[in-house]
Amino acid sequence: MTSILQAKPPRFLANASPKCWGVDPEVFFPHQGSDGHEAKAICRHCPVRPECRAWAIPIRDLAGVWGGLSEAERRHRRLLLRLAAEVTQ
């Protein structure tokens, strides 16, 4: 697992125009108790959503909505990936 301090800036942003650019960052960092539905709606139509999601999932201390997934959803995906890796070993 990667820490945000160890993560490299996402390379997919170099030649892309993500839908989140120009949107108030507060949208992607919802208050506790909110599921970030507004951010997820923006991500749903983003051309770099798969790359953004793949970049964000392994980073355990990354706040906010990334790739259309909340922190809890990314944590769940990491668990599923870890369990799948254990099954295949």
Higher pLDDT residue, 17 or 89? 17
Residues listed for the chain: 89
For 20-65, how does the pLDDT look when each residue is reduced to its tens digit (9 = 90+)? 889 999 999 998 888 899 999 999 999 999 999 999 999 988 899 9
Task: Say if residue 66 is exposed, middle or buried (CB neighbours under 10 Å; 0-12, 13-18, 19+).
Answer: buried
pLDDT at 15 over 70: yes
For 35-44, how does the pLDDT look when each residue is reduced to its tens digit (9 = 90+)? 899 999 999 9
22, two tokens: 């120009």
Gap between the Cα atoms of 45 and 49, Å rounded: 8
Show Cβ contacts of residue 59 under 8 Å, excluding neighbours closer than 6 positions: 1, 2, 3, 4, 7
Domain residue spans in the chain?
A: 36-89
Nearest alpha carbon to residue 40 among 19, 13, 58, 61: 19
